[in-house]
Structure 1
Amino acid sequence: MKVSDVDDFMVWDGDERVAKFCDGEPCTSREEAIDFIKSWVVPHPWHRAICLDGKPIGTITMSRGSRSNGSACLAEVGYLLAWQHWGKGIATTAVKMAGREGRI
């Protein structure tokens, strides 16, 4: 993801159907979204856009995981996908691709 993807990012991040699955609050303005992308998305070591026909329709992240008892697990994978694309196998494909690329 790049800052130039901000308008596409706002489509899913600002959607209540998608946002209810997020830990944080959705960005409420373009400027807030740009700041979020610059401060969190871009520097994240493994945060990728999920694209369809070259256009971002969601994101997927992979982070070192931890279990609730404090023991380490290999990774945590999280994704967000614009609701129009739910139920089409896109997130499943993205998770499989992340597993291959991230070696989980």
Structure 2
Amino acid sequence: METSPGIFLRTFDLLDAEDVLIWAGDDNITRYLRWTSVRTVEEARQHILQTVIPHLWRRSISLLRDGRSIGCVSVRPNISDGRCGADLGYAVAREFWGRGITTAAVRMAVEQAFGVFRRW
């Protein structure tokens, strides 16, 4: 498997609020997501507490060099018509578009999340 472009996936923490505000506050990123943009650090904290942490499998896309959150990837099992499947979503700060980060994060998420879901 090819190496990721300097990223790893991890759980979110309330200390991520300022970083989350950067990408979750960008309407160009959130317009395709199921939640609206956050506008303040406090809204970012509440988003982490109420939406991110309770999610079954949502991870921060973080930089290896400093651990900073630059986006998220989430996977949710979806069983319909007796078939097993999943919904996958992601968001990445605009300054990191076009660098292969989303592709690498999705590959990591599929490997990690389906490893967890297989045990259910």
**What range is the shorter-chain TM-score in?**
0.7 to 0.9
Aligned to 2:95: 84
> Is residue 28 of structure 2 the alignment partner of residue 17 of structure 1?
yes
Q: Give the number of aligned pairs.
A: 101
Higher RCO (CA-CA < 8 Å; seq separation 6+): 2
Distance 1:102 1:23 in 2: 20
Displaced runs of 4+ in structure 1, greater than 6 A?
Answer: none
Please give the per-residue CA displacement for 1:31-59, whole angstroms capped at 9, x wherever unaligned.
22211111111121211000112211000
Aligned to 1:93: 104
Aligned to 2:78: 65
Alignment root-mean-square deviation, CA: 1.6
* Paired AA for residue 69 in structure 2: P
Please give the per-residue CA displacement for 1:20-40, whole angstroms capped at 9, x wherever unaligned.
222221112222221111111
* Paired AA for residue 34 in structure 1: R
Q: 1:74 aligns with which of 71, 74, 85?
A: 85
Aligned to 2:47: 36
Which protein is richer in strand relative to its size? 1
- Runs of 5+ unmatched residues, structure 1: none
Alpha-carbon shift at residue 2 of structure 1 (Å): 0.8
Aligned to 1:2: 13
Q: Which moved more, 1:48-57 or 1:4-13?
A: 48-57
State percent identity of aligned pairs: 33
* Paired AA for residue 6 in structure 1: A
